[in-house]
Structure 1
Amino acid sequence: MVRPWPRAGLALVLAACLLAPSSGMRRESPAVAGYVTEQLTVVAGTYLQHRSQALVQKGDRERRATPTEVQGVRISPTLVRSQERAVRELEIRNRAPVDGGPAYTGARTRLDGGRAFQTGDRITLEAVEHTEIRYGGGKVTQAVRRRFVFRTRGEQITMIAERVLDPDAHPVNDPPGADR
């Protein structure tokens, strides 16, 4: 026969176990609608393409201004300043795959496999950046995983952060020593 106090203690422990969340039942952030993921992927791709173009000699053509909005999605002033700094650094560095080699003649960047998840007012987009830089008769190709963070306020979405997820990656379209 079980005494009343141990029985109450056993019932209390059992109830606590049932109420405690299980590590096996981890909740994931809800996925974002497909059209929003596509829109954010275009915004992030445009942001990176602008940097890739800085590697290509332009001759007398003027540099395009850094976009502050793409498809209705704003880019935070902090990211715009960071992008302008990166573009300036990329424009003045060696624009060839090897010192003294043929100059880069074209650059194309696209994002694939974008997955977006929302937590509160933040949307996180993770995608693989594919960059191809052409020079002379060759090309340099690179694939790098990146994360982009967006903030939502009502209907307005603003890109507020971007970083490389691969710790050993050195993207050709990131300035030397970039803290990503």
Structure 2
Amino acid sequence: MTSRVTLVSPAMNASLREARFDDGAPLDARGAAAARAAAGTLRAARRVLVAPTVRCRETASALGLGEAAEQGQLGGLDMGRWRGRTLDEVAGAEPEALAVWLADPEAAPHGGEPVSALCARAGLWLERVRECEGGVLAVVEPEFVRAAVVHALGAPETAFWRLDVAPLTATVLSGRAGRWNVRLGQAPDER
């Protein structure tokens, strides 16, 4: 059986525009409109899931995904005390800590979750949903998409920072026999 997992990144909001670590901000007007415009364009899946963040839930709703089941394990990277701060603010206040965090996937100077833990969590989730007949579609934070791709490709965790995930794009993981293929950055209407 071929497995198919589609990961959709949330539409744009103020936090994404400002390079701010998730602060619970809702979608902005343009992001919500873009998600509504993309409604009905994603390939159907038997299971529809959503990460427990405001922007993921609002994106799923605007896409018309109905009763998407919220799963905590799909959450983005726990940023600890950096939550709600911009990357520039952290760089100005804690340049050494930021440099360590960006270089070492095991580091968590912010007191939250290291990238390595997110990659492991995404890998475990992928292995659990691998056998879901009819496929899985999940609206998740961009960093969860990165972590899932790192796992799917068997890439080193340092590759996490080399992957860009644009807002409101679909990344499709498909495969069989313990091997994944990755299709990155697909716009929702490009099934």
User: Which structure has more RCO (C-alpha within 8 Å, separation ≥ 6)?
Assistant: 2
What is the TM-score of this pair, normalised by structure 2? 0.25
Please state which structure has a larger fraction of its residues in strand. Answer: 1
Larger Rg: 1
TM-score w.r.t. the length of structure 1 is 0.26
